[in-house]
Amino acid sequence: MSSTIEPSPPRRVTLRTLEQMARRGEPFACLAAYDATLARWLDRAGVHVLLAGDSGAQLALGFERTIDMPLEVAIAFTAALRRGALNAMVIADMPFMSYQACQAEALRNAGRFMTEGLADAVKIEVDASFAPLVARMTRAGIPVCAHIGLRPQNVGLTGGYRAVGRTAEEAMALLADAKALEEAGAVLLLLEAVPDPVAAAIVEQSGVPVIGIGAGPAPHGQILVAHDLLGLSDTPPRFAEPAAQIGPAIRDAAAAWTRQVSARTLPTDAYTMPATELERFQHLRRTNPPRIAWPNQEQA
């Protein structure tokens, strides 16, 4: 009998798991992705949380801005992650104008992410003024991740992608946002593009797990866009060092395939037919010439 101990199968990650990890000081890993195949591989790697990010508007749909993410597509991306990942917690990123216009609409849309999108939680880009919405969602049983700091859905207003909390006043305002949203019921906070000391202060004051992106090492969890991590993005942000070069690997494999196709050097024996059938087929073709053929170029 072998004495090797089988590793226990990974368990489904829940909010409780993240809270326990945060309490124990064990960092957790999150990635934004948009499809079931990538989700399956990221899940196999042990990534704890998958976010169906609105960055998919740019990286999966080719738009220039995240605000162009259609609601229906965001729901479909979220459900795709859930179907692909056995264990990771799946968070839906609510797109621009799916929660800002009015609370009733926001609630209904968040509900769709939970039911049709099979999400474990929804993320919204907010400040303290959204605390009443977070409270209503929480009362309805929807776990909310409050995304503060740089809010890409607001860049039209703020004039671009810039770090937030670089002045003492801005830093204090961020701390107040974090507190108000947590008090309203947010179960997770996500800090984007915040100076390290400000992120550390938010982590220190928070009673919920804090996820960071471009917010230094203090947050309990870190998130990146999988395309940036895997070397698929042309312009990854400065804090996202690619850990692989999948983009160039895809290009090289596709170029090799294109050369094979051009040179007609494809494998030809994938499917065979019994010799007797081949003989009969050849006989049938000789005796029944096809009536319709492609016109040759002169006729066309």
Interactions with ligand KIV, residue window 72-101 (CB under 6 A): 93
Q: Which stretch binds ligand KIV (CB under 6 A): 51-59, 114-122, 214-222, 241-249?
A: 51-59
For residue 71, report the phi and psi dihedrals to the nearest 5 degrees.
Answer: -55, -50
CA dihedral (188, 162, 195, 34) positive or negative: positive
When binding is defined by CB under 6 A, the residue of 223, 229, 230, 232 that contacts ligand KIV is 223
Q: Which position among 17, 55, 98, 222 is part of the footprint of ligand KIV (CB under 6 A)?
A: 55
Dihedral of CA 224/229/230/233: which sign? positive
**Nearest one of 48, 91, 55 to 240, comparing CA atoms:** 55
Amino acid at 273: M
Query: What single DSSP character describes residue 215?
Result: S
Q: Does 225 bind ligand KIV (CB under 6 A)?
A: yes
Three-state DSSP at 92 gives: strand
Q: Does residue 233 belong to the site contacting ligand KIV (CB under 6 A)?
A: no
53 belongs to the binding site for ligand KIV (CB under 6 A): yes
192 binds ligand KIV (CB under 6 A): yes
Closer to ligand KIV at the Cβ: 217 or 281? Answer: 217
Total residues interacting with ligand KIV, rule: CB under 6 A: 11
Would strands 49-52 and 144-149 be described as parallel, antiparallel, or unpaired?
Answer: unpaired
Which one of 18, 22, 32, 210 is in contact with ligand KIV (CB under 6 A)?
Answer: 32
The set of catalytic residues is: 192
Q: Quick one: 45 or 255, whose CB is closer to ligand KIV?
A: 45
